[in-house]
């Protein structure tokens, strides 16, 4: 099985995160922050860890793609629903072409609320979208287009960040290139994340 097939079959990671890894590999995205999750467990039982096989597979994929990564594993607990208090082991993985960028991304994510702008730039989001995030210049979700003259409806579904009111048309143009690349390297991942819901 090749690295792309291994990534496609990897358990515990959402497909959007898998696509982010492929975009970093293809140098269409400078860095990515992805998550791998273990099984949900009851808080009155032992922690259920992310399977070693999944961690090994991810390492094999990232090594094959020659990507640098650093990770941090935590146990998230949810006790807001007394009828089912549960936990889940979560591995947060910062990925980039080189180790310094991966480490910088990991460090920025330790204080997300104060590092939105730096994180947005490091993840390769358009500068105007990053600057508009959480301001009056941010475009409302309801105003997002389904497609544009330059970006197909399918490729618009790859959008993973907020847009600005003023520059959204330019901010989405890269999605067409990203979509065509994903479709060429993994039709399975592309098809899953661009399907109509």
> How would you classify the pairing of strands 68-78 and 86-96?
antiparallel
Among residues 57, 88, 63, 59, the alpha carbon closest in space to that of 71 is found at 59
Q: What is the pLDDT of residues 127-166, one digit of tens each?
A: 999 998 988 888 888 888 888 889 989 998 998 889 888 9
Contact indicator for 94, 109 with CB cutoff of 8 Å: yes
Would you give the DSSP letter of residue 45? S
Count of CB atoms situated within 10 Å of the CB of 112:
10
126-164 burial, b if ≥16 CB within 10 A, otherwise e?
Answer: bebbbbbbeeeebbeeeeeeeebeebeebbbbbbbebbb
> What is the per-residue pLDDT for 1?
65
- What is the Cα–Cα distance from 105 to 126, expressed in whole angstroms? 17
- What is the Cα–Cα distance from 133 to 125, expressed in whole angstroms? 11
- What is the Cα–Cα distance from 79 to 77, expressed in whole angstroms? 6
pLDDT per residue rounded down to tens, the chain (197 residues):
699 999 999 999 999 999 999 999 999 999 999 999 998 888 778 888 899 999 999 999 999 999 999 999 988 887 666 567 788 889 999 999 999 999 999 999 988 888 989 999 999 999 999 998 988 888 888 888 888 889 989 998 998 889 888 988 888 899 999 999 999 999 999 999 998 76
> What is the per-residue pLDDT for 164?
87
> What is the per-residue pLDDT for 81?
62
> What is the per-residue pLDDT for 82?
59
- What is the Cα–Cα distance from 197 to 153, expressed in whole angstroms? 12
- pTM of the complete model: 0.91
Supply the DSSP string of 109-164, one letter for each residue: GGGGGG-HHHHHHHTT--HHHHHHTTSTTBPPGGG--S--SSS-HHHHTT--S--B
- The C-alpha angle 51, 54, 60, rounded to 5 degrees, equals 145
């Amino acid at each position: 099985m090749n690295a792309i097939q291994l990534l496609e079959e990897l358990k515990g990671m959402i497909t959007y995160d898998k696509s982010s890894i492929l975009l970093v590999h293809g140098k269409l995205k400078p860095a990515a922050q992805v998550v791998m999750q273990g099984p949900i467990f009851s808080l009155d039982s032992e922690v259920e860890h992310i399977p070693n096989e999944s961690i090994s597979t991810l390492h094999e994929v990232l090594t094959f793609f020659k990507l640098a990564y650093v990770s941090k594993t935590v146990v998230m607990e949810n006790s807001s629903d007394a009828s089912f208090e549960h936990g889940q082991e979560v591995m947060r993985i910062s990925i980039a072409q080189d180790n310094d960028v991966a480490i910088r991304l990991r460090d920025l994510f330790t204080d997300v609320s104060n590092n939105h702008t730096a994180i947005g730039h490091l993840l390769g989001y358009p500068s105007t979208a990053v600057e508009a995030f959480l301001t009056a210049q941010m475009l409302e979700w309801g105003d997002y287009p389904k497609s544009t003259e330059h970006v197909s409806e399918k490729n618009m579904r790859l959008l993973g960040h907020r847009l600005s009111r003023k520059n959204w048309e330019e901010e989405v143009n890269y999605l067409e290139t990203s979509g065509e690349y994903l479709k060429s390297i993994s039709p399975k991942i592309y098809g899953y994340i661009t399907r109509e819901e």
